Amino acid sequence: MKAADARAMTIDQIDDEVLKLKKEQFNLRFQRATGQLENTARVRLIRRDIARLKTIGAQKRTGMPEPAPKARAETGATAPAAARTKSKPKTTRKTPAKSRSRAKSKE
């Protein structure tokens, strides 16, 4: 389910959909436990759909305005190259001192 589909629902419809998905999640847990689950990715999708619906339901209950749709860039670059690259800070690494016990034993 996409967020746009959920935003088009009423609060009651969202609650009903969450209940339906929770039942499906329950059934999938039993299928996984008994080794009958074929589509293991479905568990993850259901969990994310429940979270998405709960988030949108909470936003509607509090009266938060709907977020504006994100504009997609025509070209592949959305940020300057310097902002995209993450450079690690350079640290000086001290090498451990060599053991002098060997040198003394040879003398």
pLDDT (tens digit per residue) in 39-75: 999 999 999 999 999 999 999 999 887 777 777 766 6
The per-residue pLDDT for 69 is 72
Burial of 56 (0-12, 13-18, 19+ CB in 10 A): buried
Domains along the sequence of the chain with CATH: 3-62 (1.10.287.310)
- Which comes out higher in pLDDT, residue 51 or 94? 51
The per-residue pLDDT for 14 is 95
Model confidence pLDDT, tens digit, residues 19-42? 999 999 999 999 999 999 999 999
Q: Quote the mean pLDDT of the chain.
A: 82
Percentage of the chain surpassing pLDDT 70?
A: 69
- Single out the residue of 107, 95, 1, 91 nearest to residue 54, CA to CA: 1
